């Protein structure tokens, strides 16, 4: 079914029929370190209307604590408990699946994943530190790895290199039962306000190709994050609206979990892409940016 | 159809029915920098029998000239003209497709690709040099790229990093008509004798994910390399035998181009993998290593 443009009537009906708004962050709330216009007014209005707000991001570079600080820096009051990151989801996945505390976790990613793992009580290594390590493919070079690694987590990693690819591959291939977890598979993202950058999906694609195996995905559009979120709050997904800028993660996530869905065109998806015949993912509603909610509700 | 084990009869019949043997290198002739047992005797016998020998490798790390030196170091006399690498194939692809000499080529890969491009008269950059460059994803950081890049070539790259992923992505996405060429898509390879390593396929998967586009593949199993090879020699593919250790590149390449095919188990493919129900690629014949040809023909 084709999506509908968010009109004043549709906005009133939407706000009347949901108790909670789930917001993606990159491309919806901010672009890189720049706040998107009208976001403070929108969040303020929705809070005034008694709506619960939750921020769900696939960006695993930061922990919940770091994200809460980022919100503060941008002038927004958001608590850690309102934030669900794919880095947090990865740690919670291990916790819920009773990952043995005697095993270690190897991380292809940044501090957000390491921090969440440590907060959850897991021993982990890799991350930015291994970004400094080089491989020299020379005769008889043997690359050793830790046999006690029981899970590899792959997320967005600006320090990605051949060393980490091989380390992750050896753990997944040679350590019996080693889990291969991806925070998410976004191909690109607005990591800076100026342009798009390769997303976690590119690191996941490389490691997945090397080990010829598909990962367990814990971020959007996987329903793992939603199941966990529902356990934390007393909410029904039919009374929730997922607001995002990506069709294949945000909107699909909302649809997979039974939420209403609103696509904003302030991030990576353009109107021609949404309306292209090849697109099979259709949100319930779409609009330019979250600020339209304020403008339309005040009409 | 199921493959047959190479017997003495099958070996005699094979040698009698072909004029040329095409050998893959990694896992067939050598593993890393170690010669596989019996290779000198095998090549000597086939040359004595008047067979033409061609060496076809997807490993793009070296140029034809560098490979010729490697053969010499290992005690094998092989001329540059007998060697077809995916790095050479990439340069020849641009030449045959009349790539404008006013445009530049960006290389995600190693010296082999840069050397072959320069020999063919093309201006290129990237490669190991860009492996030293780092990205810091910070606010308002804008990453610029050369708008005169008309082709990006991605091959095996032990210096792969986030900088190159973004550089390649910007050229492919933003430079009108920019070609996206992969030397090959091998997921792994015996880059050292001791173990397997991520292959060019992993770098290709990452860039392909970032730009959401499939590359033109010039190495095995693409028939481009064979078309070029046939132009260089006066041969019929039905009178050729492709000898390789990978089903999805070597054997598929042989089948795609009409050669007889012989799988050797001295590289990445194991007998259980060959005989697994999920495998759909079946060589005409298989054996442990090329040395079996000598042993069987002398029975």
Mutate to test the interface with A, among B109, B158, B279 (most CBs of A within 10 A): B158
A82 found inside a domain? no
Report which secondary-structure segment, H or E, holds B31: strand B30-31
How far does A193 lie from chain B, in Å, by closest CA? 6
Same domain, B250 and B194: no
At what angle are helices A111-119 and A64-73 packed, to 10 degrees?
Answer: 120
Judge whether A195 is closer than 8 Å to chain B, CB to CB. Answer: yes
Average pLDDT over residues B215-227: 92
Query: Of the residues A193, A217, A241, which one is the last residue of a structural domain?
Result: A217
Selecting among B26, B186, B248, B292, the annotated active-site residue is: B26
Residues in chain A within 8 Å Cβ distance of B33: 138-140
B186 found inside a domain? yes
Does A24 belong to an annotated binding site?
Answer: yes
What range does the domain containing A103 cover?
98-217
CB pair distance less than 8 Å for B191 and A137: yes
pLDDT at position A1 is: 56
Query: Of the residues A217, A252, A272, which one is the last residue of a structural domain?
Result: A217
From the list A143, A161, A201, the residue facing B209 with the nearest CB is A201
Same domain, B93 and B180: yes
CA distance A229 to A224: 9
- Report helix, strand or coil for B123: strand
A91 found inside a domain? no
| Position with higher pLDDT, B143 vs A215 | A215
Q: Which residue has the tokens 């029975």?
A: B299
Residues 32-61 of chain B with CB under 8 A from chain A are: 32-34, 61
Judge whether A193 is closer than 8 Å to chain B, CB to CB. Answer: yes
Judge whether A270 is closer than 8 Å to chain B, CB to CB. Answer: no
Same domain, B164 and B279: no
Judge whether B228 is closer than 8 Å to chain A, CB to CB. Answer: no
B201 found inside a domain? yes
Does B72 belong to an annotated binding site?
Answer: no
Region class of B37: left (phi > 0), else alpha (psi between -120 and 50), else beta: beta
Report which secondary-structure segment, H or E, holds B197: strand B197-198
pLDDT at position A185 is: 96
Same domain, A54 and A128: no
Residues in chain A within 8 Å Cβ distance of B158: 135-137, 162
At what angle are helices A86-96 and A224-232 packed, to 10 degrees?
Answer: 80
How far does B9 lie from chain A, in Å, by closest CA? 37
How much is the CA Rg of chain B, to the nearest whole Å?
20
pLDDT per position as a tens digit, A111-134: 999 999 999 999 999 999 999 998
- Report helix, strand or coil for B105: strand
Query: Alpha-carbon dihedral of residues A72, A294, A240, A199, nearest 10 degrees?
Result: -50
- Report helix, strand or coil for B249: helix
How far does B201 lie from chain A, in Å, by closest CA? 7
A284 is catalytic: no
**Lowest model confidence (mean pLDDT) among A235-239, B111-115, B216-220, B240-244:** A235-239
pLDDT per position as a tens digit, B33-72: 889 999 999 999 999 999 999 999 999 999 999 999 999 9
Mutate to test the interface with B, among A30, A112, A195 (most CBs of B within 10 A): A195
Report which secondary-structure segment, H or E, holds A118: helix A111-119
CA distance A57 to A67: 10
CA distances from residue A215 to A120, A130, A174, A204 in whole angstroms, order as listed: 21, 21, 16, 8
Judge whether B136 is closer than 8 Å to chain A, CB to CB. Answer: yes
How far does A263 lie from chain B, in Å, by closest CA? 21
CA distance A247 to A221: 10
**Structure letter (DSSP) for residue B215:** P
Please report, for the domain that includes residue B149, its CATH number. Answer: 3.40.50.1000
According to DSSP H, which parts of chain B are helical?
Answer: 8-17, 39-48, 64-73, 86-96, 111-119, 162-174, 200-211, 224-232, 252-256, 271-275, 291-297
Selecting among A26, A115, A186, A248, the annotated active-site residue is: A26
Tokens of A274: 């949404």
A130 is catalytic: no
In what order do the strands lie in the sheet containing A260-264?
A4-5, A285-287, A260-264, A240-244, A20-23, A52-57, A83-85
**pLDDT, averaged across chain B:** 94
Query: Of the residues A164, A189, A217, which one is the last residue of a structural domain?
Result: A217
Q: CB–CB of B294/B38 below 8 Å?
A: yes
Judge whether B206 is closer than 8 Å to chain A, CB to CB. Answer: yes
CA distance B274 to B296: 22
CA distance A268 to A249: 11
Same domain, A124 and A177: yes
Same domain, B235 and B199: no
| pLDDT above 70: residue B1 | no
A80 found inside a domain? no
Mutate to test the interface with B, among A145, A184, A198, A211 (most CBs of B within 10 A): A198
A171 found inside a domain? yes
Phi, psi of A148 (to 5 degrees): -90, 5
Q: Give the residue ranges of chain A where pLDDT is below 70.
A: 1
| Cβ-count burial A205-229 (b if 16+ within 10 Å, e if not) | bbbbbbbeeebebbbbbbbbbbebb
Same domain, A130 and A204: yes
pLDDT per position as a tens digit, B278-296: 999 999 999 999 999 999 9
CB pair distance less than 8 Å for B138 and A166: no
Beta strands in chain A (DSSP E): 4-5, 20-23, 30-31, 34-35, 52-57, 83-85, 104-108, 123-126, 149-154, 179-182, 188-189, 197-198, 216-217, 240-244, 260-264, 285-287
Q: How far is CA A73 from the centre of its chain?
A: 20
Number of folded domains in chain B? 2
Q: CB–CB of A115/A64 below 8 Å?
A: no
Share of chain B above pLDDT 90, in %: 85
B127 found inside a domain? yes
**Structure letter (DSSP) for residue A243:** E
ipTM: 0.91
A232 found inside a domain? yes
Same domain, B155 and B187: yes
pLDDT bracket for residue B20 (50, 70, 90)? very high
CA distance A230 to B256: 52
């Amino acid at each position: 079914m084709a999506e509908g443009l968010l009109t004043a009537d549709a906005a009133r009906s939407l706000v009347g029929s949901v108790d909670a708004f789930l917001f993606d962050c990159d491309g919806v709330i901010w672009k890189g370190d720049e706040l998107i216009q009208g976001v403070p007014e929108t969040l303020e209005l929705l809070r005034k209307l008694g709506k619960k707000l939750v921020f769900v991001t696939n960006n695993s570079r930061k922990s919940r604590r770091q994200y809460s600080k980022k919100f503060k820096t941008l002038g927004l009051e958001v608590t850690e408990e309102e934030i669900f990151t794919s880095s947090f989801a990865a740690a919670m996945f291990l916790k819920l699946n009773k990952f043995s505390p005697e095993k270690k976790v190897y991380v292809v990613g940044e501090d957000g994943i390491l921090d969440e793992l440590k907060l959850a009580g897991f021993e982990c290594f890799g991350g930015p530190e291994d970004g400094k390590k080089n491989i020299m493919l020379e005769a008889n070079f043997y690359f050793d790895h830790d046999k006690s690694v029981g899970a590899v987590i792959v997320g967005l990693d600006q320090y990605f290199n051949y060393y980490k690819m091989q380390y992750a591959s050896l753990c997944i291939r040679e350590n019996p039962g080693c889990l291969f977890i991806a925070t998410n598979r976004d191909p690109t993202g607005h990591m800076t306000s100026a342009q798009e950058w390769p997303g976690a999906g590119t690191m996941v694609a490389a490691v997945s190709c090397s080990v010829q195996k598909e990962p367990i995905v814990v971020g959007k559009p996987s329903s793992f994050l939603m199941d966990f979120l529902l356990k934390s709050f007393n909410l029904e997904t039919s009374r929730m609206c997922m607001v995002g800028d990506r069709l294949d993660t945000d909107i699909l996530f909302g649809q997979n979990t039974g939420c209403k869905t609103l696509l904003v065109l302030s991030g990576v998806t353009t109107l021609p892409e949404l309306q292209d015949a090849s697109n099979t993912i259709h949100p319930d509603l779409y609009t330019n940016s979250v600020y339209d909610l304020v403008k339309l509700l005040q009409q």
